[in-house]
Amino acid sequence: MRTLAAVVAVLALAPCAAAAGSFTSSDPQLDAIWSASVRTAHDMISPPVRLLPGCGVPPHETVILDGVVRDRCEYTGDIAVTGMTLYAADGASRSPVRDVLLLFARKQHRDGLVPEFPGARTYGLVDYTGYWVEDVYDYVLYSGDLRTARTLWPHVVRALDVWYPAQMRNGLMADLLPPRADYAGVDRKDRYVAYYNAQAVRVLGLGAALARWLHEDGATRRWSTRAAALARRADAAFWDAKASAYKDSLHGPLVHPQDGNAFAVLAGVADHARAVSALNYLDAHERYGYGNSIADNDDWSGGAWGDHAGERVYPFMSYYEVLARFATGLDASALDLIRREWGYMLANGPESTMWETIGPFGGGPVNHSWDHGWSSGAAPALTAYVLGVQPTSPGFETFTVTPHYDPGVWWARGDVPSPRGMIHVSWHFDADGKLVADVAAPPGTKWVRRS
């Protein structure tokens, strides 16, 4: 096992693309994790390259790979994390995400489904249309590129007003796609799944925000109303009072999943009390020294997917759990998860990069992808929450500075790229224990500090 000092030395010596953004804090482990996560995202950017047959990426386009081994196609789910890391490191305007979004829009099916990768000819993955909508929202928020938002708008409408309604049964979203597959390739053994419903609530909310930015008031009202109704139904359907957490499905095996609970918190399906309870349940039942697993038992095991479901870690989904913890005010547990999971990958991998998965009992990734973009989410989480900078309107016209910390983090400083210029933030605690923040904001922006 490499020591933290050795990891920091490797990061200092190994070549990588320079990041305009930065993050430094009183915790050197978090600093090393931020740098390694950015390195991972930078590794995903490739000049035109021959991908596996069927990926569907034009040969002349810059590619955002999912990972540097295996299929290497562009996936909407991976972009949801890799894109955010690139925004924290370089800014949205400098990233190739825009071309990726337009490519997926051109590949959208008539029924509104967005394929999981551009060349996919199957029915797709049930959650990846939602990740494409999230990708569009994030890009517009961080870039301020309302012109591209307008170009993509008809495709967002088709996704939210055609595809999602077609998946509804009995007031809930149902997985009606023949493969019954998602980001993790899990067969939940039921059509009605908490994660799919909570994600749908969240995606409708993101779509409503995008509509508001484009002054599409009818869509804002329509999608907000649908989100609220689905949130109520999902909360009632999937809350397990005995466990004080959300169960995975209505009729499948009794599993309390990481994804369903994290997304219930992020989507507002859970009120604050249930959010705290659900996240505490994950800490009590899915916590390992190498991260948090995607399930609290092994009932998903078997078939081509493999065994030991309760010991498998997906940093992709742990990113959303980290966001849920910060959003709920559980700052110490969010930072603990980052240190355990991303710190474990950094200390134990053959490269100073983040792995696609962490195998059962802390083993290497099942698919041998030690450098995978969807696992880079620690960097944007640290920028948005520990440094504390988050845009609240497109292009950082307005933004907030809200530092989150624990006893190991008593100061932080860094730079956040925006279309209007670099935002510099530095905060620390003074001798009286008061948090003091210094913010240098570019012209044309307004910011507020929230405690």
Per-residue pLDDT reduced to its tens digit, 286-331: 999 999 999 999 999 987 778 999 999 999 999 999 999 999 999 9
Phi, psi of 449 (to 5 degrees): -100, 130
Asked if residue 295 belongs to a domain, the reply is yes
Tokens of 89: 């490191």
Asked if residue 10 belongs to a domain, the reply is no
- Which pLDDT belongs to residue 451? 67
Asked if residue 412 belongs to a domain, the reply is no
Asked if residue 442 belongs to a domain, the reply is no
DSSP state of 71: T
Per-residue pLDDT reduced to its tens digit, 377-426: 999 999 999 999 999 999 999 999 999 999 999 999 999 999 999 999 99
Question: What is the distance between the alpha carbons of residues 245 and 233, in angstroms, rounded to a whole number?
Answer: 16
Report whether 36 contacts 59 (CB < 8 A): no
| pLDDT over 90 at 113, yes or no | yes
Question: What is the distance between the alpha carbons of residues 223 and 233, in angstroms, rounded to a whole number?
Answer: 15
Asked if residue 22 belongs to a domain, the reply is no
Question: What is the distance between the alpha carbons of residues 39 and 351, in angstroms, rounded to a whole number?
Answer: 10
Closest to 282 in 3D by CA, of 267, 311, 308, 262:
262
Question: What is the distance between the alpha carbons of residues 328 and 322, in angstroms, rounded to a whole number?
Answer: 10
Per-residue pLDDT reduced to its tens digit, 194-252: 999 999 999 999 999 999 999 999 999 999 999 999 999 999 999 999 999 999 999 99
Asked if residue 218 belongs to a domain, the reply is yes
Question: What is the distance between the alpha carbons of residues 418 and 395, in angstroms, rounded to a whole number?
Answer: 7
Domain count, the chain: 1
- Whether the full predicted model's pTM is greater than 0.85, yes or no, is yes
Domain span including residue 234: 32-373
Terminal Cα-to-Cα distance of the chain (whole angstroms) = 39
- Which pLDDT belongs to residue 14? 38
Report whether 334 contacts 317 (CB < 8 A): no
Per-residue pLDDT reduced to its tens digit, 22-46: 999 999 999 999 999 999 999 999 9
- Which pLDDT belongs to residue 12? 36
Per-residue pLDDT reduced to its tens digit, 16-26: 455 699 999 99
DSSP state of 187: -
| Whole-Å CA distances, 324 to 244, 258, 394 | 16, 11, 22
Q: CB atoms < 10 A from the CB of 272, how many? A: 10
Asked if residue 410 belongs to a domain, the reply is no
CATH for 105: 1.50.10.10
Asked if residue 405 belongs to a domain, the reply is no
